[in-house]
Amino acid sequence: MELNKIEKLLEKYFAAATTIEEEKVLKDYFASSNVAPILVQYKPMFVYAVQTKKEQFTATLSLKTKKRSYAVWLSVAASVIVLLGVAQFTFNQYNKPQWQDLGTINDPEIAFKETQKALDMISVHVNKGIGSIKYINEYEQTKNKIFK
């Protein structure tokens, strides 16, 4: 390739007026082994461009994201539905109005006595509970004896 032509192309190249074809000519010229000594300084620019284009995307590409997230949301939705279903079912099961005949008392006097009896029973149990709290007091005293 005549030196003259290459020099002209270079001039155009630096003015950004070359076409892709002309730039290819330059790249080929500088890739060859017989570059004119005055032009050797330009060699790296063109060699670099050619070399760099060889670089490739080597990481593995995964496009799964979209599908996977779909599956995830689908399973989340499904499990929520199942959960709600089970909850609804058990809720209904336990809260069924129970028709138990507990009887009724018509005479206010007897009713009063029955109520009193029931309340007595409660207070007896409560007192029993309070009784066992006294032990805790015992502990307190022992503790006070040890840690003065």
Task: Give the three-class secondary structure for 67.
Answer: helix
Q: Residue 19 or residue 98: which is nearer to another protein going by CB?
A: 19
Q: Residue 14 or residue 112: which is nearer to another protein going by CB?
A: 14
Site for another protein in 88-117 (CB under 8 A): none
Please choose, from the candidates 39, 55, 54, 53, the residue with its C-alpha nearest in 3D space to the C-alpha of residue 6. 39
Q: Cα separation of 115 and 123, whole Å?
A: 12
Q: Residue 57 or residue 99: which is nearer to another protein going by CB?
A: 57
Q: How far is the CB of 33 from another protein (least distance, A)?
A: 16
Site for another protein in 44-83 (CB under 8 A): 44-45, 47-49, 51-53, 55-57, 59, 61-63, 65-66
What is the Cβ-side half-sphere exposure of residue 122, based on CA atoms within 13 angstroms? 6
Q: Residue 49 or residue 86: which is nearer to another protein going by CB?
A: 49
Q: Cα separation of 2 and 120, whole Å?
A: 123
Q: Cα separation of 6 and 12, whole Å?
A: 10
Task: Give the three-class secondary structure for 99.
Answer: coil
Tell me which of 22, 23, 25, 39 binds another protein, using CB under 8 A: 23
* 38 touches another protein (CB under 8 A): no
| Helices 20-31 + 3-14 axis angle, to 10 | 130
Q: Residue 54 or residue 134: which is nearer to another protein going by CB?
A: 54
Query: What is the binding site for another protein (CB under 8 A)?
Result: 13-17, 20, 23-24, 41-45, 47-49, 51-53, 55-57, 59, 61-63, 65-66
